[in-house]
Amino acid sequence: MSDSQVTVHLQQQQDYRFEIAFGGTVPALIGDEPPPLGGGTGPSPVQLLAAAVGNCLSDSLLFALRKYRQSPEPLSAQVTAEVGRNAEGRLRVLKMEAVLRLGVPAAQLQHLDRVLSQFEAFCTVTQSVGAGIPVEVQVIDAEGARLK
């Protein structure tokens, strides 16, 4: 049983270029495959997947820190999706690597060990994607120290 449903509407504009509508007041965006298949006029489906993973992980980390009244801003994330061929020779996302960066040194944040041990479990998108694609997550503070 589902707690909610999310529906997006895609409308082909030309070739592999689609307008992606989210409904409500959320602005639509254009998705497109890169050349030579498409025109590269918007993010590709793989880029959208990587963005969803990075956004959800960042949201989960921020939520977990704010629960303890901590201010890690500004957060940033970089997600790399490795695309390659599977055993059948078809292109697939083989793995993803996410690097989350805190905007402050770790020493300024309380309860950080607890947050780092739990926040990923609450990331809906990453936990769902991770069931089929390995996702490695790193967290780095503002001084460059790798915390996770």
pLDDT, one tens digit per residue, over 46-74 is 999 999 999 999 999 999 999 999 999 99
Mind listing the pLDDT tens digit for each residue in 11-33?
Answer: 999 999 999 999 999 999 999 99
Residue 39 pLDDT greater than 50, yes or no:
yes
Residue 128 confidence (pLDDT) above 60:
yes
pLDDT by residue (tens digit) across 64-117?
999 999 999 999 999 999 999 999 999 999 999 999 999 999 999 999 999 999
Place of tokens 């996770």: 148
Q: What is the pLDDT of residue 5?
A: 92
Please name the residue that has the structure tokens 């025109």. Answer: 39
Burial, 17: exposed, middle or buried (Cβ in 10 Å; 0-12, 13-18, 19+)? middle
Domains in the chain: boundaries: 1-43, 45-140
For residues 144 and 135, give the distance between their C-alpha atoms in angstroms, rounded to a whole number.
Answer: 21
Query: Span 45-140: which CATH code?
Result: 3.30.300.20
Phi, psi of 101 (to 5 degrees): -120, 125
Q: What pLDDT was estimated at residue 2?
A: 61
- DSSP secondary structure string, 6-33? ---EEEEEETTEEEEE--TTSPPEEE-P
Which band of pLDDT confidence, cut at 50, 70 and 90, is reported for residue 3? Answer: confident
**Interatomic CA distance for residues 80 and 97, integer angstroms:** 5
